[in-house]
Structure 1
Amino acid sequence: MAEFFSFEAQNKVMIKDIIHKRRSVYPAMYSDAPIAKETIEELLLAAHQAPTHRKTQPWRFKVFHSEQQRAALGDFLGKKYRDTIGNYSEFKEAKIRNKPTQAACVIAICVQEDPEKRVPYWEELAATAMAVQNMWLLCTELSLGCYWSSPALMQYLDEFVSMESGERCIGFFYLGHLKDELPASWERKPLADHVSWF
């Protein structure tokens, strides 16, 4: 037991430091360096360790890793934007099309509702969000930029990739190597504004 605590004391990467360092880093801030498939698999394995009520493991991930697949996703989203948005902007369409190719990888975050409905849907959403947070924290440790985007266009993903009955896309997780240092933290309200002690 003493050896275990000695090892932990020597480990300078503390989870509390990673939590405070975590940031949303957008694709425009990524370099063009690729991310190895093995690294993506490591992130997904971290996600897979999230807590889940009744072990439903509701998270589903669609990984767009190759440049060709990311470009195809961007083209699909751009066309969907053009076909479904009333207040159309050519600039916005181009931005939507280009965003996936600015990233080294895009992971569609999906939730699979339990067919037996053993737990309420909000718990499945919460479990999936915790899975994403696991990836986000590991990205921070690995000095990768990432962020979770939830555009309205995500509702059409089932027209681009096959999805199971009861499966729903709740966002896209963009990843890339950083061009520069992590951005500074934004100033949060005091913790006391959000906590009541009894």
Structure 2
Amino acid sequence: MQQDTTYINDLIRNRRSVFPDQFEQGKHIPDEIIKEIIINATWAPNHGHNEPWLFTVFTGEGLKTLADFQSSLYRSEAGDSFSEATYKKLQQQPLKASHIIAIGMKRGANKRIPELEDIEAVACAVQNIYLTVSAYGLGGYWTTGGITYKESAKAFFGLEEEDKLLGFFFIGYVAVPSAKSTRAGVEEKVKWVTQ
């Protein structure tokens, strides 16, 4: 079935990360829109129908729950590298979003599928999130900072030892749009083999 290729080309080429400081503070996106965004995420390609994603959505007071958890974990594990600025950022950044989706990779039932392919499937799901957020005229940002790669954080998000926390997707209404961007010409990144 032919789709509007002009629209999809424009959507992909104009998608930009919009950071929490660019969000319209205190404006809540309807949960129904977030549900549609997540449904689109689950239509990402994935080997063997493993569907290895696990999303945890934080909104309302749940944003404070996430902020308290991640700042407390950081404080307890930072040791000599503790930074008050990082601690405050972990406390404050989540409160700037309407919703935050914790992105988990939960190993599917078929363990013969390489772990990397499950990670790649989740990354495809996140791209679906990015594109859907953009289609709704919202701002979004995938961060892998903070507590993302801490083993001790995984249980909070329903992840087990073999699973991975792959970051957090912040969503909000855009107050300050991101600047236009450019990409290197495809000639620099593509090799054609015709014989």
The reply to whether TM is greater than 0.5 is yes
2:47 aligned with 1:49, yes or no? no
> TM-score, normalising length from structure 2?
0.89
The aligned counterpart of 1:160 is: 156
For 1:137-156, what aligned pairs fall within 5 Å after superposition? 137-154=131-148, 155=150, 156=152
How many angstroms apart in 2 are the aligned matches of 1:151 and 1:105?
A: 17
How many angstroms apart in 2 are the aligned matches of 1:142 and 1:184?
A: 18
Aligned residues: 189
- What whole-Å deviation, never above 9, does each CA across 1:72-130 have from its counterpart, x for those lacking one? 11111111222222322212211111111110001000111134412111111111111
2:186 aligned with 1:196, yes or no? no
- 1:178 paired residue among 169, 174, 181: 174
> TM-score, normalising length from structure 1?
0.87
For 1:15-94, what aligned pairs fall within 5 Å after superposition? 15-31=8-24, 32-66=26-60, 68-85=61-78, 86-94=80-88
- What whole-Å deviation, never above 9, does each CA across 1:41-77 have from its counterpart, x for those lacking one? 00000001111111111111011122x1111111111
How many angstroms apart in 1 are the aligned matches of 2:55 and 2:189?
A: 32
1:197–1:161 distance in 2 versus 1, CA, 3 Å: closer
How many angstroms apart in 2 are the aligned matches of 1:93 and 1:62?
A: 22
Q: Which residue identity lines up with residue 191 of structure 2 in the other structure?
A: S
Q: Contact 1:25 / 1:145 at 8 angstroms: preserved in 2?
A: yes
The aligned counterpart of 2:182 is: 187
Q: Contact 1:51 / 1:130 at 8 angstroms: preserved in 2?
A: yes
Q: Which residue identity lines up with residue 170 of structure 2 in the other structure?
A: Y
For structure 1, the residue ranges without an aligned partner over 5 or more in a row are: none
Q: Which residue identity lines up with residue 180 of structure 2 in the other structure?
A: S
Moved over 3 A (4+): none
Q: Contact 2:50 / 2:110 at 8 angstroms: preserved in 1?
A: no
2:103 aligned with 1:132, yes or no? no
Secondary structure of the structure 2 residue equivalent to 1:93? helix
Q: Contact 1:115 / 1:166 at 8 angstroms: preserved in 2?
A: no
Cα offset, 1:157, TM superposition: 2.7
How many angstroms apart in 1 are the aligned matches of 2:62 and 2:6?
A: 35
- Between 1:87-96 and 1:124-133, the stretch displaced more is 87-96
For structure 2, the residue ranges without an aligned partner over 5 or more in a row are: none
How many angstroms apart in 2 are the aligned matches of 1:12 and 1:133?
A: 18
